[in-house]
Amino acid sequence: MDSSAWGLLIQGAWTTLWISGISIAIGVVMGLLIALLRVAKIPVLHQLLGVYISLARATPLVTLVLFIFLTAPTMGVNLNRNVAGIIALTLNTTAFNAEIWRSAFNNFSKEQREAALAIGMTPWVYFRRIMLPQITITSLPGLVNEMSFLIKGSPAIAVIGVVDLTRVTNRISAVTYDPLPPILAAAALYMLIISLLVWFQRVAERKASRLAV
């Protein structure tokens, strides 16, 4: 492949990275908030959130992408392709992240809460200083795995015309009639992105373990 093809692949990889990155950042925070609401078991809201999580996890990502992009105009909302991709990816990853956070909440030691409240700690201070740091550490492997799955599933946004890494690969293959080089290059770029995520997880876990000592 020539330098221009490599330039297009890198641009496509950057599109994949920033769209996935925004979706991941929102999904982690929204997943935490939904998990908190589900743990609180507020009537009706608890059931509604459970339905959303079940639907989002069961719906194929490409179907969700098409649904968001094609149905939004029927409701008077014209979405940019990139925005539609971000919304679909965010809805998908938020549902999985919510279950990861909820599992961490449910497995957290209740004795620590009782001890904290016994010494006069407010529920907010207990959550912020004791509970949240610990469940973040325990949730980190699951969250990073979900980030990896989202990035590997992100080619679904190509079906609505987002020029991501996969779409660029297809375009180069169509022009050169030699699909193997761009496919191998795209695979290498995806592996690089996933490897950076794994590296981030290891660094974060090491720092967390030092702080815990």
The yes-or-no verdict on residue 29 having pLDDT over 90 is yes
The yes-or-no verdict on residue 213 having pLDDT over 50 is no
Total number of domains constituting the chain: 1
Q: Summarize pLDDT for 122-179 with one digit per residue, the tens.
A: 888 888 888 888 888 889 889 999 999 999 999 999 999 998 999 999 999 988 888 8
pLDDT score at 206: 77
The yes-or-no verdict on residue 93 having pLDDT over 60 is yes
Place of tokens 């973040």: 136
CATH number of the domain where residue 202 is located: 1.10.3720.10
- Give the domain range for residue 34: 3-212
Mark 18-56 as b/e (b = at least 16 C-beta within 10 Å): ebbebbbebbbebbbebbebbeeeeeeeeeebeeebeeb
Burial of 199 (0-12, 13-18, 19+ CB in 10 A): exposed
